Amino acid sequence: MIRTRIAPSPTGKDVHVGSISTALMNFAWAKKNKGQFIVRIEDTDRTRLVEGGEKKMLETLEEIGLHADESPLVGGPYAPYRQSERLEIYKKHVEGLVKKGSAYYCICSPQRLDEMRKKQQAEKKIPKYDRHCLKNQEEIKKKIARGEKYVVRLLIPDKEISFKDLIRGQITVSGSNLDDQVLLKSDGFPTYHLGVVVDDYLMKITHVIRGEEWLPSTPKHIILYEAFGWSLPAFAHVSLLRNPDKSKLSKRKNPVWTSDYLEKGILPEALLNYLSRKRYFYS
């Protein structure tokens, strides 16, 4: 069964019109294949949440006709579909990675990380965590047991990471260029990378179709899938919706929220039709 999804973050007043374009591709691919289209809310960045944003987003998707088979509104077998309600799931999974040696605890202070980064920049090196805590894991575990705040980091293997993108072909990056990504934050919330991989796997997503701005994150996701021992979904990174001059849509220059268009009287069907046909506007 083909299962696609969109995973918007409620950090604006509504769904970005570019996200509608990506949602449409996910919806169309699922429906063409008699599959299912899922909406999952990625609300783990608590500092950027916009009050009422999630409700408006779900309503707009319905209004425009991109009905979800599973979502916070309609439920489904893998509920809840809101990441903030799935914290125990991420914690359990990340602890499994620590046990396997694929991730490690880190208690470095923001000040230490800041100094480290400045020093690396001054030396013209790629800013990367220096694995200070990796060497002292037993000691750090004791400190954590005593209540010290911590994050969990992914141990990036020193090898080439390769995957196939359905649109862009084979992509290969060197692990030595990647930072030991934080997976679990000190507030107990997962980062995007942990949440997205765990949920796409558990929710049986077969095709991850998303904007090209997420392409640089995918090698980290591949490492995570491998560390968990999970098979990969298919990946397709689609071009962003752009202005005729190829510049990015920006809140300062363009109406970017879907409701901005609907409130002007543009019919939902007309907007969907436009987004599906205007290939010229894609980079």
- 251 as an active site residue: the answer is yes
Q: Is 103 or 233 the residue whose CB approaches ligand GLU more closely?
A: 233
The active-site residue out of 251, 253, 264, 278 is 251
Q: Which stretch binds ligand GLU (CB under 6 A): 6-14, 72-80, 225-233, 264-272?
A: 6-14
Residue 42 near ligand GLU by CB under 6 A: yes
Q: Which stretch binds ligand GLU (CB under 6 A): 5-13, 50-58, 93-101, 112-120?
A: 5-13
| Min CB(19)–ligand GLU separation in Å | 7
Return the residues of window 211-270 that contact ligand GLU according to CB under 6 A.
214
| Min CB(102)–ligand GLU separation in Å | 21
Q: Which stretch binds ligand GLU (CB under 6 A): 2-10, 70-78, 109-117, 232-240?
A: 2-10
Return the residues of window 194-213 that contact ligand GLU according to CB under 6 A.
196, 210
Residue 86 near ligand GLU by CB under 6 A: no
d(CA 101, CA 151): 15
> Which of these, 12, 79, 17, lies nearest to 243 by C-alpha position?
17
Residue 7 near ligand GLU by CB under 6 A: yes
Residues marked active site are found at 251
| Residues lying near ligand GLU in the complex (CB under 6 A) | 7-9, 42, 192, 196, 210, 214
